[in-house]
Amino acid sequence: MSSPKPRASILEIAAYKPGRSKARAGVNVRKMSANESALGTSPKARQAFLDAAHNLHRYPDGSAALLREALARKFGTTVERVICGHGSDDLIELLAIGYCGEGDEVIVTEHAFLIYSIAARTVGARPVVVPENGLRTDIEAILDGVTPRTKMVFIANPNNPTGTYITRSEVNELRARLRDDILLVVDAAYAEFADAPDYTSGLELAREADNVIMLRTFSKAYGLANLRLGWGCAAPEIIDILNRIRGPFNVSGPAQAAGVAALEDEAFMARALAHNAKWRQWLTDELTELGLEVVPSASNFLLFQFPDDPERSAARADDYLTEQGLLLRRTDEYLLPRSLRVTVGTEEDNRAVIDALKSFMSGDR
């Protein structure tokens, strides 16, 4: 008896596994596996969400007009260049649907966010994985990977899970040397945390170019991960394509309201970024003191590597930390089996992780 057959490329996809949120029963959990906001959500955004509950029986504004207007004002662009999505993942999938198909190629970097390859395979395109250089996006490797079949290039800046970034000049050079018919997607989900003077989210290019889209999210610095809210900036022609294929009500009303309020609460954002900068450096110093190799990060997480010692491996450390209710992110699926990724958390979270790692590394367990 025959059964419906999926697209062949779908069978090549390994389902994405989010950061864990549970340990064994009875253990109090500190979740530091998903790069969520250490300070939670802006009180103003929370109140806007609660106020929106009075209209749950109504469909949301399908165009997300007020949110798009707020984004355009804040980021110095026009509403015609802004689109909102059910998380930035929604927009990644729409880009693949809109611009790629069977036989096309999509370039991703060696340790890139897994959703890029999943989106490509979903539409029958082939992800072309190019090497990184010192855990950084290598624009020469990307350019070497271009073929006549290349339709799209994904870069995350800063990158997840490495936390590294490439400079404004590197992003601009990459765009200048790519063919004009290749869409450059700059995923800047962690842009708010990147404070280096030579960093760019790609916004400048996206505001002017015809072949660049910058993606952002409210899940990280804005603390709205549960509402699934993302946005992009690109030429009106690209936005038009995405609008043709997105769900007609792809962003809920409460998410739109909370997003507008979060953008307006600049004081809360300032506190969140100051907290991140302070404790990211503290964690870097403490992990280094333990003899662990820490990758310099421009984000709200750190990737750190364990020594080549079976007794003090990343896998053993993760098991030990999990027993203590400390949930970090394994990075085996990102081809980094000797590493763990830790989200910058509250002061109590950060100190608990370091105390546990001190016990683990000393053998006092």
The values of phi and psi at residue 242, to 5°, are -65, -35
Q: What is d(CA 66, CA 38) in angstroms, rounded to the nearest whole number?
A: 27
Beta bridge partners of 250: none
Longest dimension (CA), the chain: 63
Per-state percent for the chain, helix, strand, coil, to nearest 5: 45, 15, 40
Pairing of strands 30-31, 326-327: parallel
Q: What is d(CA 10, CA 112) in angstroms, rounded to the nearest whole number?
A: 19
Q: What is d(CA 331, CA 344) in angstroms, rounded to the nearest whole number?
A: 17
The values of phi and psi at residue 277, to 5°, are -60, -45
The two structure tokens encoding residue 241: 């394509």
pTM greater than the 0.75 cutoff: yes
Displacement of CA 187 from its chain's centroid (Å): 7
Q: Which amino acid is at 77?
A: T
Q: Closest Cα to residue 306, out of 22, 320, 297?
A: 320
**Non-local CB neighbours of 360 within 8 Å, separated by 6+ positions:** 312, 316, 317, 320, 321
Query: Strand (E) positions, the chain?
Result: 30-31, 82-85, 105-109, 126-130, 150-156, 183-187, 212-217, 230-234, 293-294, 301-305, 326-327, 329-330, 339-343
Q: Closest Cα to residue 243, out of 66, 355, 81?
A: 81
- DSSP class of residue 332? G
Kindly give the confidence (pLDDT) of every residue in the chain, 365 residues in length, as a single tens digit, with 9 standing for 90 and above.
Answer: 678 878 777 788 777 777 666 666 567 899 999 999 999 999 999 999 999 999 999 999 999 999 999 999 999 999 999 999 999 999 999 999 999 999 999 999 999 999 999 999 999 999 999 999 999 999 999 999 999 999 999 999 999 999 999 999 999 999 999 999 999 999 999 999 999 999 999 999 999 999 999 999 999 999 999 999 999 999 999 999 999 999 999 999 999 999 999 999 999 999 999 999 999 999 999 999 999 999 999 999 999 999 999 999 999 999 999 999 999 999 999 999 999 999 999 999 999 999 999 999 997 76
**Non-local CB neighbours of 261 within 8 Å, separated by 6+ positions:** 42, 44, 45, 47, 48
Region for 137 from its dihedrals, namely left if φ exceeds 0, alpha if ψ lies in -120 to 50, beta otherwise: beta
- DSSP class of residue 310? G
**Non-local CB neighbours of 283 within 8 Å, separated by 6+ positions:** 302, 342, 344, 350, 353, 354
Peptide bond into 161 cis (omega under 30): yes
The values of phi and psi at residue 146, to 5°, are -70, 135
Beta bridge partners of 107: 128, 153
Would you state the pLDDT for residue 365? 62
Q: Closest Cα to residue 313, out of 343, 336, 281?
A: 336
Domains of the chain, start order: 8-40+267-362 (3.90.1150.10), 43-265 (3.40.640.10)
